[in-house]
Amino acid sequence: MFPFVVIAACILSTAFAGGHFQYGGHYKGHLGGESVATRQQDDYGNYEFKYDIKDDYGNVRGRQEKGSHGQIVGSYYLGEIDGRHRSVEYQADKLGFRANVKTNEPGTKTSEPAFAPYYNKHYGMSIPSGSIQVPHEYGYGHADLGQGTALAAHGY
């Protein structure tokens, strides 16, 4: 009888253990609308994909991207039913990631173009913001979705 109780306790404790790891995200919104997607990849790692989505409420979004030998070129757009729209054209290569953002969202008027100078008082020099290279972060997802969710939720 004792071995049965131990095995049952192990099974129950495993079944009710808190948290779980996720890969990617989970859609929790309204299902419906229309979407179109294409993708292709060759044996050399060159790839291309595109998708366009229109939900039942009239919101639209889409993305397209091409990658070849360390050079990536792409764009994405978002259009909300209230009239807000954002489109981003980007490229990433040995010079880093560069993006051109066009939007009519409130509070986004820029005073200088994308390659605005950046002044660092600690080094006494001006660096154009478009040429700064940022180290690549590894992993998938962000915030409360994706890889490491359970660890982040517990303060690790």
Positions in the chain short of pLDDT 50? 18-27, 124-127, 129, 131-132, 136, 138-156
Structural domain includes residue 18: no
Give the Cα separation of 98 and 66 in Å (integer).
15
User: Could you report the per-residue pLDDT of 128-154, keeping only the tens digit for each?
Assistant: 545 445 554 544 444 444 444 444 444
Q: With beta carbons less than 8 A apart as the criterion, state whether 72 and 92 touch.
A: yes
State which residues form the domain around 63.
30-153
Structural domain includes residue 81: yes
Structural domain includes residue 5: no
